[in-house]
Amino acid sequence: MGTPVLYTYPLAYNPFKAALVLAEKNISYTSKYVDLFNGQSLSPEYLAVNPAGTVPALKDGDKTIGDSKSVVDYVNALGDGPLGGSQVDQGLASRWADRIHKWDGNLFLAANGDPGAAKLLGKLTDFKMKYAEARSAQHPELKDTYNSKIQSMKAADAAVQDAAAVAANNALLLGLLDDAEQQLASSSFLAGPAYSVADVMFTPVLFRLGMANKTGQYLKPRPHVSEYYNRMKERPSFKAAFGAASSKLTLAGAIVPALLKAQLASLTGWY
């Protein structure tokens, strides 16, 4: 295996999973940041890499994988095989991973995060929609792709206002946390006595709670999950995956330039 390239963004939920599994598998890679706020992820150049216009995407030789769960599964299978090996129940680990992947960390943060930040992100979403419309006009061969992205952004916005969707997503979270609390009462990790792909997928969920300032609310009633998360934070892979996102400077450095670009576009009409 050569040196893979991970297209990522330091504040985004799904790339955490990819960075974590790469670190746990001790695989060196090159990071290429794709700005999700300023329109870069919707540029024709990035769509040529990942037509979904999302991160993460992993390029390994002539192969490109553009979905976080697929990236995790691909990396987990490399080398000596899946994390945990024969020490864990790999079937259980896979079931955990599939179930965790269904939880929408983006919807959770949008519905539970700071209202002021949500308002700013709404402005950036409006900018990205207009950016996509402008690129669609310039690149008619990508019209269907851009239309799909615009509809996806509208659907994500609508979900935040949909009480049923928010409640269903939160119910999924509560189920995960409660079942994890039960599992971790008798094992060190989610699928047994060793770290597995289940833990790769679950740790970003717990970090996301912190991004919404909800760690205490959800983990205080669940001491086994809380103790588990403290152990996860001590692993070298945690800093590799979450170090940048843990810095307030990263947030400011990401949001402010994108807001300025959006404001300039609004004033000039140039997207």
The candidate with the shortest Cα–Cα distance to 18, out of 56, 46, 47, 45, is 56
> Model confidence at 254, in pLDDT bands (50, 70, 90)?
confident
- pTM (2 d.p.): 0.95
Q: Report pLDDT digits (tens) over 106-159.
A: 999 999 988 888 888 899 999 999 999 999 999 999 999 999 999 999 999 999
Residues 6 or more apart whose CB falls under 8 angstroms from that of 203 comprise 16, 20, 229, 232, 238, 241
d(CA 88, CA 84): 6
Domain boundaries of the chain, sorted by first residue: 5-268
Interval 182-235: pLDDT, tens: 999 999 999 999 999 999 999 999 999 999 999 999 999 999 999 999 999 999
Instruction: Could you please state the CATH topology (level 3) that the domain comprising 5-268 is classified under.
Output: Glutathione S-transferase Yfyf (Class Pi); Chain A, domain 2 (1.20.1050)
